Structures are given as C-alpha cells and as structure tokens.
Chains A and B, each alone.
Chain A
Amino acid sequence: MSDTHASHEWKSPEQRRGEVPAASLNEFQNPARLEEPSDSARRDFLKIMGAGAAAVGFAGCARPVEKIVPEVNRPEQFTPGSKVWYASACQGCADACGIVVKTIDARPLKLEGRKASLVGRGGLCSRAQAATYDLYDPERLQRPLVAGEAVSLKAFDETLLVELRQARSVRWLRGAYPSEVKRRSVEAFLATFQDGRETVWDPIAPDAALKVQELLHGSRILPRIRLDRADRILDLGSDFLNLYWGRLDLARDLSHRRDLDAFPEPPRLTSVEGLLSHTGTNADDRIQVRQSQVADVGFAVASEVAGIVGDSDPRIRSALAPYSIGKVSAATGIAPEVLKALAVDLAKHRGKAVALGAPTVRAQLAAGILNILLGAEGTVLDGTVSPSYQFETGTEDIAALVADLDSGKVDILFVDGVNPAYGLPESAGFAKAAAKAKLVVSLALHKDETAELARMVLPTTHWLEDWNAAEPQKGVHQLAQPTISPLYKEVRSSTDSLLAWTRVLGKPTPWNAATAHDAVQGHWADVQSGAAVAGTFEAFWEDSLRHGGHVSHALRVAREGAPAPRPLSGADLVQAAGPLSPPPEGIELAPYWPAGIREGAQANNPHIMELPDPVTKQVWGNAVLVGPARAALLGVKTEDLVHVKAQGSEFDLVALVVPGQHKDVVGVALGYGRTAKLRLLDGNPELPVWTRLAYADDGKGSGTKTPAVGVDVLRISKTETVTPLAAEVSRTGRDGRLSATQLQQDIANQAKPGDGEWRQIAIQVNWEEYEKDRKVGTPEEESKLFTVWGDPVYKSPQQWGMAIDMNRCNGCSACVVGCSVENNVPMVGFEEVRRGREMHWLRIDRYFHGELEEPQVTHQIMVCQQCDNAPCETVCPVLATTHSDDGLNQMTYNRCIGTRYCANNCPYKVRRFNWTNNWKAQGMFDLYEKTDDGRTPNAPLAMAFNPEVTVRSRGVMEKCTFCVQRVQNARYESKELGLEKVPDGEIQTACQQSCPAEAIVFGDIKDPTTKVSRLIRSERGYKVLDWLQVKPNVTYLPRVRHTADRKAVSAAVAAKKQHEDGAHEAPGAEP
C-alpha cells in the first residue's frame, strides 16, 4: 500500500518533499483497502443493526468479517489511530486565519483556530469548520475534462500546451487571497505571453472600502480595525461581524470589550440599517432606515460631529454641507434628537469611537469621514503599522476583464477557483463575453457554473492538500501546509499547474520552483531575509512549520502601540458624497450576504446548507424577508409565496416575516439559487435520490420533489451587490415552503412584550439597571425545595461544567458546525428540518425581546446542561443514559432502544433522535452504493467521520456529551503523567475551541480556582430553569445592553410610528 504509506508518511516536510504519489480513489472503493478508521462508519452500521438482527435471531451469528491491512512500510513513530496536529493557514477566504488541523491516520478531520495566530486568534468561522466536508465531497472533479471528455492529466497538459503556444492574449482570473506565492506564480506564467493580465476578484470583496480608502488616503489599503479600543461603534449597515475583512478579530475584540468583569463599561454598538442583520442583532441600539439611506444618516451624523469637534478639513465640511440633521431626518423619518444624541455621544468619545460602513461607496465614505472626524485614524484604525492586505481586488478589474473578453481579443481565459458565471450579476454579461474567448480553462474543485462554460476543466486540489503562504496583514506571515496528499491522482493544485506550464513554456518560474512546495520555500527564504531572522533557513522553516507562520517580535510589539494617522488625500469629496437625494418611494429590495453560505462556494456542503441563519434560522434556501408592518400591508405571513419584481426581472419566493425590519425594505439573501448539477443543489443525476438533502416535496403529499435551493438574486443585483433595488412585492395567494429550525409562526409569540421574560430563560438586562444592581433580571437563588433524595456525591476528583456568556456570544454559529463535525452529527435535509427533526447537538436559540417593531435579539447557545438531577436519566427504562462519576450525563448509544422518553422529559429539549439512518441520507454508510456504471460516488464521504466518536444508527437518541471523547483522552493523558486532576484549560470542547468570541468556557467546577468556577460564581450568573431542581451544570451570563438613554429612543419610536402612519394613509405607493 505504498501510496497510503505516502499519505501517512511525512511528519516533517522533508519527508514530504520527496515526491509522493497521490493516493488513488480505488483505495476507498475497495473496503479491504480501507485503513481501519475509515470504514468505521459502515462497521458501526452493520454492528448496530447486525447486533439487533442477531438478537431477534434472524441474522443468527452472522457478524461482519473485518480486515486489517497494515502498511508495507509503516513510517517511523507513526501509531495507527493517534492524532497528529498540523499548524497551517486557512484558505477558505482572504482572511487567512491561522488554523491547526487534527489528522488521524493521515485524514484531516477537524480544523481549529490557532491561538497564537494574530489573525483569527484561535477562533474559526463556520465555513472553515466545514472545510473537511468539501475535501471529502464525493462530487469533487477527479479527472480533467476536455470538451466534456474525461482525460488524464498528461493528455490535458498536452492539449493545453498546444493552445498556450499559439495564444498571445491570456487572462487569469483568480480569487482574492493574500499569497505572494500565487501572485508571483501567475505573474511569471502570464509573462510568457505578449498580452497576459491577471484579474483578482472576490464576490464579497470590500471594493467600495478600497475605493474610499484610496479616495481619502490615497492608497488601496484597508486599515486593521481594533475594536478592542473602541468605546463607541457606529455600524452604518455594514454587517461587519459577517462581511468585513478580519471579521473574526472584529468579533473577538467586540466580545472582549463586552466582558463585564474586565472592563468598567461595555462599548455601545449602534446599528443603522433597514434589515435586521446579524450584526444588528448584536447592536445595543438600532436605528431603522431604508437601506439606501444608510449613507445619508452617516453623513448627517458626521456633519453634526463636525460641528461639535470643530476643526475639520474644509473639504469635508463642504462635502457634508447638504446633510444637515434636519434635512436627513425629514427624508428618513428618524427623529432629529436621536441623531443628535448619537452624534454627541460619538463626539464625546472622540479617539475611542469608530464607524463601519456598508459595502457601498457612499456608506464607506460616510464611515471614512466619520472616522477622520472621530479621530479613529491612528487609534482604532491601523492603516500604517500592520494594515490588512487581505483584499487587493476591485470590481473595475472584473469589469475591464469582461470588456476585454467582449471585445473578442482574448485567446485564453483561465478561471482559477472562482465562479464568475454565478457570482457576477447578469448585467455584467460574463457568460456572453466568455463565449467570445477562444478557450476558457476552469481550474475548479467542482463542475460549477463556470466549469460548465469552460471547454477545458482542470480539477484542482482542495486547499487542505496544498502548500501556500499568506500575508493577511502587513508582516503577519501565515504558512499553509498540506495535511493529506491529494485524494485523486489526476488533480493538481493551480500553483503547481502554473509552475509546470511556465517551465514547459521555457520561462523562469519564481524562485525557480518546480512545485508549490518549492515556491513556498523560496518565498519563505524571502520572508526570512525580509524579517532579518538569524539562523539557517532549515531551522527557520522548521520553526515556521511548527508555528504555522512567522511574525517578527518587533511587529508584535509595534502592533500593540499606536499607529500613525494617515493624512487626508486631496481628492474631491463633494463629488463623491453627492447631494442628498429626495426620499425614495415604494419598496426597496435589499440583497445581503448571509452569514453561513456567503458567496455560495460551499453550496454542496451539507453542514453549511443546514446551518441556521443567525437571524432567521432558515436553512436550505433563502426567502423574502419582510418587516411586520410591511407584511400587514401586503397581507402576507410567513410561508406565503410572494411575487417580486425588480430590475426588470421577477421571481416568486417564500416570504418570511422578520421583526424589526424597516417597513419599506424587503431583504433577500444572496449566495443561493445556484444551478450547478450538484447533489445538494438541483441534484446530481448520478447520485441516488436520497442523497439529495435539498429536496422539498410540494406539501400536498403528491410525492413530487423540487429542489429547495432558493432563488439567485445575484442575477439581478448591481455590481455593488448589496445596493438596494427598487422593487415591487405582491402576494401570490399561494403557499410556499421554507425550512427553519425555529418555527417562524412563533416569532410573534416570542416578540410579545413580557413573554419570554417570565420564562427567565434567555435573560437580557439594560446597562443602566445592571450598573445599579448586578443581579438584576436573573432569577433568585435556587429555591430550597424539599427533596427526598440527598445530593449526589461523585467519586471523581473533578466535575465538568460550562459557563456561557451571552454578552460575548454574537450568534455566528461557528460552534454549531464545529460541534457537528467533531461529533459526526448528521445533516438531515430540507424536509426533515422542516418537520423539526434537525440533529444539531448544539443550537443557538434566538429570542426577541420588546416590541415587534423594535425588538432586541438575544442569542442563547443551548447545549445539554448535564444536570446533576438529570430528568432524562430517571425515565430511561434501560439505563441507556446515566451519570458518570465525573458528573457527566452520559449517553450510551448501543444501549439505547429509542423510547424517546428522555427527550420528552428534557426541559431544554437538547436531545436528538435518529428517525432514520440519517447518515445514509448522505451516502455515508454506502461505500458500496454503486451507480449504474459501477462507480461508488459516495466513497470518500465516510473518511470525514471522526473515529473517536461512535456513529449513531437509526432509532438511537443522541445529545451533546461535553465532547466526552476529549474529556476521556485528557483524563488518560494526565493519569499517565501521574496527575491527580486534568489541568484547567487542557480540555476544550469543540464549540468552545471554535468560538471566535470566547463565549464558552468549559472546565472543572469542583476546583474553585478554574476559570469556569470563577464565572459560575459571578453574581450575574444564572442557570436556566433552575427552579425545576434539575441542577443544571451550565451557567449563563445574561446579555447586558448598553443602550442610549431612553428618552431619545422612545422619541425615535414615536416619530417613526408617526412617519409610518403617514405612509399608511397613502398606500397608493403599494403595488
């Protein structure tokens, strides 16, 4: 098994450097060849079912015979089944966060944030968490395609080289990633042609921000935003927790500042927006305005601030001239005193306040001007010491590219890892233009929309199989190393291809590299010299590999200091800001990038598709988000089908009523409605139908199924994708279907004032009250009811508990994916989720407080509370769920007979039941499931299983275990070290580890010195439903809202109501 040998091999890159033949797919087709853990899935299935069958006698003693296939040469110090961690860098998006990859038997299984990394700092987003499922995606392209014909890599190269030799004008289109290696490889390759040009393009790149930076400071460089230094944050429709560069750092800093034990006063985040965005749900104050008028509000506040702070640049003053608070509030219907109060508050915190704008030029400009006025430059914003290099793109470039293509003078277009055929609005006319190129070559992981257009398709490796290096922030060098050799023989990373082609064309490659590995090493040598690191390169390289990159000590120090403020450039701001436009009429359709799927690249990843949206909790598709007031006017309710007309095109889509959304704004999530032939989209005909999780039946029981992947709004959006569009919305009178983990009809209930309060489950209090009384809102001490039983005494010296700070959690849902990947939690698909059968062990409950129109949102992470007096245990007839001696509520799957009584009796409803073979729905158990032409398309999926966690079969109850596998391993290890206890912080649950906001703390609650014990003792800590006497072991810290003083807000509400009533009287505007 020489090739698995290779894939197991290299602990150290040296070994890796010796060219390793790639593991071939046959390995996974032939069960005998599977390394033991890889087929654990199937065996679990057979065992659990088999055991049952044997029990009732109709399988007799038939038990599966298993093979052990040891390598012919087992590498040194390689132990089967033991974990190996690799430090690396995430290439999921341009942020390039630092990660560590857990591999078992050379299979990357879990990605985790790297604490030491300056980007990401230990957190990791949902997309990266799900990356392993992209790697093992059965629908990855496995062989190059030439005109639809599968060919070998060699043949592909030959065909391509013929074309290359004749080509004179070549275009290379790639995604944004701050990689010197990639950039120079492309450069060198294009240099071999008379007219070669590179275009970097990312559908959610902050192009507007770049433009505005150039406008204001004369350089296309994004500042590093240090929210930990901001006392006041003004969010002008920027969904920054979700869209900004370095968003994990923003989340971390915000939650860091919201740590009420560490800081005297939390920052105040004020959101100005029309939709209820993910960031908006975390705002302390929200000001509702049409999405198109966000910038105006920004300018108005700026002009007021300018007035207060005095000395400001004359050009700024003239630019702000048309935006007096009076005029703007007249146009927007926001009470002037609200804006005044806001401006005063911001000005008061000059130097400690920052404004973040929506990805449109005007919003960004407003934010930029505010930042200058508020002195954020040089304090909160770092544009000089270590600014962000994460994005270097511009939509002009892609526009130029399309123009080039259209002119027909382009010979070859290479599309490297991006999907413009889907990601560009129709108005850009990419498809039409691309058709005019002589040859389109797509380097892609899947046969996506662009690959459909391309005549030649080269399958690329997944980035977990690649070498790469990144510099996301100035001086912060990340090193990405492969954690598995490519799954398929006939694929090649785009960098490798570039270098190979360049060499064949007889031109020099950067660092004379033959492979990406060489190139990275070459680049790393530059890094060493650049950072003037003493010592041999080998040592430096080793060290960098171990730490996943390099940052000079000097920079680390400098980053903490104050950067220099950037001077204002001489550009004309008046023209850029433009005059105040008159108040628009009618409804505007605001497209937005949703948190989970974002630009849609992972649309074939069940973990992403079934990740509930932080705000709407919708899965498997998008919907028309309508505010309650508008819904009343239109007479639509959630799950009605509405008809939308915008930009001359129209579509029907299911409606979803979202409280706190502006009356005149309807939102639709971008990134859905892809048309590629993938099983989780409209279905891959090659795969069995039950693998198409995205299918919804028509709800009439007719059995006909239709794909539920939502509607593609990118199609009709502008180049600035989030620009609101004038739209007409009308009800069709028909019913639609949507799938959400929180039933939408309950929104109304939950938004009822007081309801939810008396339940005292998700508690939120106001800062003013909190300052007076730190226990405000939390339920009184656990009532001392009479109990016939004493308290249990646990043998183990340690007992595990958790503390969750709702003030830190922003609901980003990274933990949900992290948990699912770690614990082999199955995804169940549109219909099953719709029936309330989703399997997430960890869920984030979303609560609305206050008015339906002005709700405040609380995100509550809900996991198994591991109650001491667990009600689930008492009722299980067969002792399948019991209590361990270290106080865990343990679930023994193989003992479970599935009475589901435990789930009934769980007040937190955290237990999940396998209503069918959920994994089979993803083909996980069906390594042998053959298509007609005898292939096994699902084979690699089973490799994604975490062999440390039993895979549950049909009829078994499961739930959060506090990652007992991690607990047990830690206990064993410390036992071997002769320790009495596991040291604090040794055990990190998957959710805790992945949380960018550090909202979750896990540890020993018997030992009063641990971090978790300190939090549990915190006076604001409370336990959910404590009065039930179930003695939960998860402590919650309530959400504390630092809202502005009440008068202004109430005035605002009053004004808004008045404004609306005005609108009600003239419904002529409504379609």
Chain B
Amino acid sequence: MSTPETLRQRRPLVTGGKTVHDVSLDVCAPAERWGSRGYWLGFSTSQTALFIYLCAWLLVQTIGLKLVGINNRMDWGSFIVNFVFWVGIGHAGTLISAILFLFRQNWRTSINRAAEAMTVFAVSCAGVFPMLHTGRPWLAILFVFPYPNFRGPLWTNFRSPLEWDVFAVSTYATVSVLFWYMGMIPDLATLRDRAKHPIRKYLYGLFSMGWRGSMRHWVHYETAYMIFAALATPLVLSVHTIVSFDFAVSILPGWHTTIFPPYFVAGAIFSGFAMVVTLLVPARKLFHLEDYITIDHLEVMNKIILLTGSLVGFSYITEFFIAVYSGAPFEKFAFLNRAFGPFGWAYWIMMSCNLITPQFFWFKKIRRSIPLMFLLSIFVNIGMWFERYVIVVTLTRAFVMPQWGTYVMTFWDAVILLGSFGQFMTLFLLFCRVLPVCNMSEIKAFHPDTLRQIRESHDHE
C-alpha cells in the first residue's frame, strides 16, 4: 500500500473543481447517454472499414496469397509488418498501468483504462495477422498449439521463434485482458449501482462479481493489483523482445542483430504512446473528459514520446554504425542497401518520422498544443509502420544475388492494412460506450480532495 509521501501532488490530477461524486457522473456518462452524432459518424465509418476488412480476408484466403505482393524472394510482407506494428501499439497500455504504477506515477490513473483497452484491441488486431498470413490458417490453428493428439502424438517445435510468439502473444493478450478486467471490477460495480434498467443492472452485476467496496476486499484487491503490475512489467518488456527474435534469431544479414530486442521495445513504447495520444485527443473531446485527461497528462506522455523516440533514433544510428564499422561484408551491404538501395525511400521516411518528429517535443509550446501533438503522433505512427516495413524488405536482397527480388504491395495488401484500423477503431469505440473510459476508483483515490484529507488524517495526531 502506498505511503503518504507518494500522495503529494505537483499539479491537481482533476481540474474544474470536480467532486468525487462528479467523477462518477462524468465518467459513467458516455455509458449512460446515447452517443453523439460525432460518435455515430466515427463508429459507422470504422464498421464499414471492418466489413471491407473481413471481405478482403475472405477473398485472400479463398484464392490464395498470390493476391498479395509477397513472392519467393520476399516471403514475408505487409502482414508481418502489420503484426509487429500492432503488437508494438499494444505496449503502451500495460506499460502505463504496470510500470508507471510501480514508479508511483499517479498521473497514469486517468489514462490507464483507455490505454489498457487500446492494448487489448491492438493485440487482438495483431493476433489476426500471424495466423492468416500462413498458407493454411485452418491447419495453423490446429498445429501451432501443443496438445495431445492422434498424430503420434506430434508436438510443436519449441525452438522456433514463431512458437515463442504463440506463447508470448497469447500470454500477453491473456494477462492484459485479466489486468484490464480486474482494474474494472470496482468501476463496473459503480455502473451496476447506478444502473436503472434491470438488464444493464444484471449485466454489469454479472461482470462486477458482486463487488461491494468492502475494505477487507480492497486490501486483497490492492495486493493483486500490485502483483499484476509486477508480473506485467517483465511481460511487457518480453513480448516485443520475443517478437524481435523472429528477426534476430534468423541468420539473415540485417536481421541477425543483438540490438533488436531493446530497440524493438523502445520502438513499441514509442508507437504505443503515440497511439494513445492519437486516440485520447479526440476521445476526451468527444466524451467531455477534459477535466480528467488534462493537458498535463498529455504533456507527460509527449515527454515519454520524446524520450523513447530519441532512444529509437539512437539505436537506428548505432546499428547502422556497427554494421558498417564491423567489417562483416554481408551486414555492411545489407544496411547500405537499406539506406541507399531500392527501398531507400522507406528508410528515409522511417528516419524522418521517428528520429526528427519527436524532437519537436523539446519545446513546451508544442508539447502542450493539442493539434500539433495530434499531428506529430500520427507522423510517429506512420514512421513506426515503416520501421517494420524497412526491416522486412531487407529480405529482397539476401545472400544469393540471383535470388534477389523486389516487393510491391498490391491493392489487397493496402485494403487489409487499412481494414485492420477498422477493427481497432470499432472495438475502441464500442468500449467507450459500454465501459468506464477512466479508472474512477483510482481517480477518486488520487482526487486532490481525497489526498488532502488523507494527508490531514496523518498530520492529525
């Protein structure tokens, strides 16, 4: 349990003189009110995208992967790029709720719920790709999981980074969902107790597990939350490490590098935070949460973007330098080829978006300007997608020159990439309507008034 020192605040986390009761009112409002026009506009757009997405997959899976740009020189393409991209996005949430919790960053309270939701949805988007990029998904589902079977039994290859992925991603998804859900139990109870309609009452009751806010429960709850944070912290670092093994464990020049794990993790946090900003800036407007997700929150996140962005940029330069300096001819060629080869354009998009963009956040004005941070965060997202693109297209020029090839994304590649955003946004907007967008119990716990009272209760004797 937290000690009084940690309860001191630099700036109030809740502005606009909102009382603890107002917190319940405002946060529950989206779930209790009918959606605004803006909401329905966004929701229908995302659903259309989702529908197109599903159709595209159906087609690609019936006719075959020949519809997309990959070929025998370049066996992985946009699907893997999207996979890594989405998994990366899925890092911010758990990071915010776990690591920042351990570091006693109380400002996390008002954003962690949304961020965790985003994590879960991003991972669900990511999960689609490795499964459906295979030649025979219907068998992939059967074969990648080790379970007793009638083939001998024949198990799976636990030495394969892809098998590691199966465990890493599924574990990460599970733990994120559990963490997210546990954090929501008290708030679901709040919704249940506020609910008028019997069905709403029943459903919220079902998921709030009969939470009553008893102090004896709070004790266990807080412990569990702490443990979850402790578990999720190494996990969140491990996931992208293991994803990066898909590349780092291979023997290809440009992939086989030990710098990948840290650099992937940094990149993941980077892109994750960018995505949080991209989502929360409109969301707080849409659901009138400006007093809970304040400009201060956003500024702190921009600071983190600046930090991680610089980390990523630094590792770009490092790996390039090492490759060229090491004197390993294939490695050297691979990297020079990245920068100046046929896919140089992608490399420079990546460099400018990921290395230069965040540097603007050195300026407080930009850090605190809503439109600018929104724009920049989008640039970061683009840049991070291209980072993975650049890494994957290294395949086109591997060891044996006569097998050098090229890679052109087809129409279907593009449709599926955009469609996955449809899936993501649909889920997120649904979440905003049915579940508490902010972690009420924690906001209340770190409400300026609460903190004052608790401090006084200590100073009393």
Question: A residues within 8 Å of B by Cβ?
Answer: 51-53, 55-56, 617, 701, 741-743, 746, 749-750, 756, 758-759, 761, 832, 835-838, 843, 845-847, 862, 871, 873-879, 895-901, 903-905, 907-909, 911-917, 954-957, 1025, 1028, 1030
Contacts and interface: CB of A to CB of B under 8 A. Distances in A.
Contact of A836 (B144, B161, B250, B405): B405
Interface in B228-269: 246, 249-252
A53 B136 CA distance: 10
A907 B399 CA distance: 6
Nearest to B165: A877
Contacts of A746: 401-402, 404
B400 A896 contact: no
Contacts of A908: 399-400
Nearest to A843: B402
Contacts of B249: 874-875
A288 B138 CA distance: 58
A916 B144 CA distance: 22
B1 interface: no
Given A56-B138, A877-B166, A750 B401 contact: yes
B interface residue count range (under 10 / 10 to 19 / 20 to 34 / 35 or more): 35 or more
B191 interface: no
Interface in B134-174: 134-144, 154-157, 159-163, 166
Contacts of B69: 835
A905 B256 CA distance: 10
Given A915-B66, A916-B64, A897 B139 contact: yes
Contacts of A750: 401-402
B368 interface: no
Contacts of A1030: 251
B95 interface: no
A725 to B, nearest CB: 32
Contacts of B411: 701
Contacts of B404: 743, 746, 749
B135 A956 contact: yes
Contacts of A916: 63-66
Contacts of B156: 877-879
B73 A847 contact: no
Contacts of B70: 900, 915
B75 A846 contact: no
B65 A915 contact: yes
Given A743-B405, A907-B400, A836 B72 contact: yes
A955 B65 contact: yes
Nearest to B64: A916
Nearest to A878: B143
Contacts of A913: 72, 75, 135
A846 B66 CA distance: 27
Nearest to B394: A904
Nearest to A1028: B251
A55 B130 CA distance: 19
Contact of B159 (A743, A846, A874): A874
B213 interface: no
Given A749-B401, A901-B160, A53 B71 contact: no
A879 B155 contact: yes
B346 interface: no
Interface in B343-361: none
Contacts of B395: 904
B326 to A, nearest CB: 14
B75 A955 contact: no
A475 to B, nearest CB: 44
Interface string B386-415: 000000000100111111111000010000
B136 A52 contact: yes
Nearest to B151: A895
In this complex, the member of B134, B246, B406 whose beta carbon has the largest number of chain A beta carbons within 10 angstroms is: B134
A905 B136 contact: no
Nearest to B136: A955
B262 to A, nearest CB: 22
A898 B135 contact: yes
In this complex, the member of A742, A835, A846 whose beta carbon has the largest number of chain B beta carbons within 10 angstroms is: A835
Given A746-B404, A750-B401, A759-B399, A903 B75 contact: yes
Contact of B64 (A52, A56, A873, A954): A954
B144 A877 contact: yes
A907 B251 contact: yes
Interface of B: 63-66, 69-76, 130, 133-144, 154-157, 159-163, 166, 246, 249-252, 329-330, 395, 398-406, 411
Nearest to A1029: B251
A898 B160 contact: no
A899 B65 CA distance: 12
Contact of B72 (A838, A877, A895, A917): A838
Contact of A877 (B63, B163, B398): B163
Contact of B141 (A53, A56, A701, A954): A56
B139 A845 contact: no
A895 B143 CA distance: 8
A201 to B, nearest CB: 39
B138 to A, nearest CB: 4
A832 B66 CA distance: 8
Contacts of A741: 402
Given A877-B162, A915-B66, A871 B251 contact: yes
A955 B134 contact: yes
B179 to A, nearest CB: 27
B63 A835 contact: no
Given A746-B401, A907-B251, 8 more contacts: A52-B139, A875-B250, A877-B166, A878-B156, A879-B156, A907-B399, A908-B400, A955-B134
In this complex, the member of B138, B142, B330 whose beta carbon has the largest number of chain A beta carbons within 10 angstroms is: B138
A914 B71 CA distance: 10
Contact of B161 (A749, A846, A875, A879): A875
Nearest to A832: B66
Contacts of B66: 832, 837, 915-916
In this complex, the member of A847, A912, A916 whose beta carbon has the largest number of chain B beta carbons within 10 angstroms is: A916
B291 to A, nearest CB: 49
6 contacts: A836-B72, A895-B143, A899-B133, A900-B75, A901-B161, A957-B135
A862 B155 CA distance: 32
Contact of B403 (A55, A879, A909): A909
A91 to B, nearest CB: 35
A900 B64 contact: no
B157 A877 contact: yes
Contacts of A915: 64-66, 70-71
Nearest to B160: A877
Contacts of B141: 55-56
Q: Which 7 A-B pairs have the closest CB atoms?
A: A898-B135, A955-B135, A916-B64, A900-B75, A836-B71, A909-B403, A845-B402
In this complex, the member of B65, B69, B70 whose beta carbon has the largest number of chain A beta carbons within 10 angstroms is: B65
A877 B158 CA distance: 7
A101 to B, nearest CB: 32
Contacts of A898: 134-136, 140
Given A901-B162, A913-B135, A847 B402 contact: yes
Nearest to A897: B140
A557 B155 CA distance: 63
A900 B157 CA distance: 15
Contacts of A909: 72-73, 398-400, 403
Nearest to A617: B402
Nearest to B162: A877
A874 B401 CA distance: 24
A51 B170 CA distance: 26
Nearest to B68: A915
B75 A761 contact: no
Contacts of A743: 404-406
Given A756-B401, A1025-B399, A956 B136 contact: yes
A56 B399 CA distance: 39
A846 B399 contact: no
A749 B340 CA distance: 14
Contacts of B166: 877
